[in-house]
Amino acid sequence: MRLSKKPARVDDSAYVPERLEPYVMESPDVDESAVAALPPAEAEVLDELMQRAVLLLAVMPRNQRRETIEETVSPYDLVRGRRAIDALIDSGQVAVDEAGRLRLLR
């Protein structure tokens, strides 16, 4: 019995830096005014994180801690997780109480 080897696909390794760019960690001292003018790739990542957070809040038990959702949505870049939750709060989709627990409004 002869095993045939699959030929390596060239496109598997093409554009690796470009594909990994959204996952590069930023410094924690990001200026908040710079967040408003996000590049398109970063805006897409933030939008996806926001959608994940809304889904988590919809299916998880109520009154989840903000830190729990931030860490679950973006475990390797907590700044992005914080930005996503801040954007949801600013948009009125999510509310946070004085104890730091989130609840879905819509």
Interval 56-72: pLDDT, tens? 889 988 888 999 999 99
Give the DSSP H or E segment for 79. Answer: helix 78-91
Alpha-carbon distance 31 to 62, whole Å?
32
The total of structural domains in the chain comes to 1
| CATH classification at residue 87 | 1.10.10.10
Domain that holds residue 98: 38-106
**What is the value of pTM for the model shown?**
0.61
Query: Could you write out the DSSP letters of every residue in 25-62?
Result: PPPS---HHHHHT--HHHHHHHHHHHHHHHHHHHHSPS
* Three-state SS at 94: strand
Interval 3-39: pLDDT, tens? 666 665 555 556 666 666 665 555 444 444 444 566 7
Alpha-carbon distance 64 to 96, whole Å?
10
